[in-house]
Amino acid sequence: MKGKCLCQRVTIEVADNSNFDACHCNKCRRWGSGPFLSIDCGSDVTINGNEHISRYQSSKFAERGFCSYCGTHLFYYFIAAEEYFLSLGIIEADIDFNFNCQIFFDKKPDYYQFADSTQVLTEQEVYESFDLVDNIHNIDDL
């Protein structure tokens, strides 16, 4: 799959993956005014235009990447696992995506909801899935 920012200075290629997830944590909602919809791409990501990417270390575990020219949100990068979560909105292909999972579901505000039935993980379950329980004490750590 291929993706690009609004100004097309940054392009990203990843393996095909039709599953996407939503993160409802406070930081993701602050970053994009809603849940962060993303595709887990692992570490197999080809990025062209790195010189146009700004990375903001939003916690001790993660960076958020965006185009420094047009501001497009590109990815969430989990540092310890060297894993990219690519913003769903930058994908160019016409793909029949499957809404797979919602994380930090216990942090989701009441003013929106999705109609799709998905797997849901609480804050604690997310920490456990990344084996971070002993290292994280609150949402701001992630």
The yes-or-no verdict on residue 117 having pLDDT over 90 is yes
User: What pLDDT does 141 receive?
Assistant: 52
Selected residue with higher pLDDT from 140 and 87: 87
pTM: 0.88
Rounded-to-integer distance, Cα 58 and Cα 64, Å: 7
Q: Which residue reads 């993701």 in tokens?
A: 28
Q: Does the pLDDT value for residue 139 go beyond 60?
A: no
* DSSP codes joined into one string, 35-104: -EEEEEEET-EEEE-GGGEEEEE-SSSEEEEEETTT--EEEEEETTTTEEEEEGGGB-S----EEEEEES
Residue ranges of domains in the chain: 2-141
CA distance to 48, 56, 136, per residue, from 74 (Å): 12, 12, 25
For residue 7, pLDDT beyond 70: yes
As a whole number of angstroms, the distance between CA 126 and CA 135 comes to: 13
Domain 2-141: assigned CATH number? 2.170.150.70
The pLDDT, as a whole number, for residue 132 is 61
The pLDDT value given to residue 129: 82
